Homo-oligomer: A and B are copies of this chain.
Amino acid sequence: MTEKVALIGSGNWGSAVAKIVGGNVQKFDHFQNEVKMWVYEEQIDGQNLTDIINAKHENVKYLPGIKLPENIVACPDLVKTCEDATMLVFVVPHQFVVNVCRQLKGKISPKCKAISLIKGVDVEENDNGFQLITDMIQDSLGIRACMLSGANIATEVAEERFCETTIGYRNKEDGELFKQIFNTSTFRVNIVEDVVGVELCGALKNIIAIGGGLVDGLKLGDNTKAAIIRIGLYEMRKFSKMFYADVKDETFFESCGVADLVTTCAGGRNRKVAEAHVTTGKSFDQLEKEMLGGQKLQGTSTAKDMYGILSKKGLLKEFPLMTTIYRICYEDLPPIRIVEDI
Q: Nearest chain B CB to A233's CB is how many angstroms away?
A: 7
Q: Nearest chain B CB to A141's CB is how many angstroms away?
A: 31
* A226 and B260 contacting across the interface, CB-CB below 8 Å: yes
Instruction: Choose the segment among A39-47, A106-114, A251-259 that binds chain B (4+ C-beta atoms closer than 8 Å).
Output: A251-259
Q: Flag whether A177 is at the interface (Cβ < 8 A).
A: no
Query: Pick the contact of A258 from B163, B188, B224, B233 — CB < 8 Å?
Result: B233
* B258 and A258 contacting across the interface, CB-CB below 8 Å: yes
In chain A between 105 and 163, which residues have their CB closer than 8 angstroms to a CB of chain B? 151-153, 156-157, 161-163
> Interface residues of A, CB < 8 Å — how many?
41
Q: Which B residues are in CB contact (< 8 Å) with A328?
A: none
Q: Mark A64-85, 1 if CB is under 8 A from B, else 0.
A: 0000000000000000000000
Instruction: Choose the segment among A5-13, A168-176, A194-202, A261-269 that binds chain B (4+ C-beta atoms closer than 8 Å).
Output: A261-269
Residue of A152, A156, A237, A253 with most chain B CB atoms under a 10 A cut-off:
A253
In chain A between 207 and 226, which residues have their CB closer than 8 angstroms to a CB of chain B? 220-226
Q: Flag whether A339 is at the interface (Cβ < 8 A).
A: yes
Minimal Cβ-Cβ distance residue in B for A164 = B227
Residue of A262, A266, A267 with most chain B CB atoms under a 10 A cut-off:
A262
* A164 and B339 contacting across the interface, CB-CB below 8 Å: no
* B156 and A263 contacting across the interface, CB-CB below 8 Å: no
Q: Nearest chain B CB to A92's CB is how many angstroms away?
A: 22
* A229-B249 in contact given A161-B223, A186-B339 (Cβ < 8 Å): no
* B233 and A263 contacting across the interface, CB-CB below 8 Å: no
Closest 4 CB pairs of A and B: A162-B339, A163-B223, A230-B259, A226-B259
23 A-B residue pairs with CB within 8 Å: A151-B230, A156-B223, A156-B224, A161-B220, A161-B223, A162-B223, A162-B224, A163-B224, A163-B227, A222-B263, A222-B266, A223-B259, A223-B263, A225-B262, A226-B258, A226-B263, A227-B255, A227-B259, A229-B262, A230-B253, A230-B254, A230-B262, A249-B253
Q: Give 14 A-B pairs besides A156-B221, A162-B223, A164-B231 with Cβ atoms closer than 8 angstroms.
A: A151-B226, A151-B227, A153-B221, A161-B224, A163-B227, A185-B340, A222-B267, A226-B263, A226-B266, A230-B254, A230-B255, A230-B259, A233-B253, A252-B253
Task: List the interface of chain A (C-beta within 8 A of B).
Answer: 151-153, 156-157, 161-164, 185-186, 188, 220-227, 229-231, 233-234, 237, 249-250, 252-255, 258-260, 262-263, 266-267, 339-340
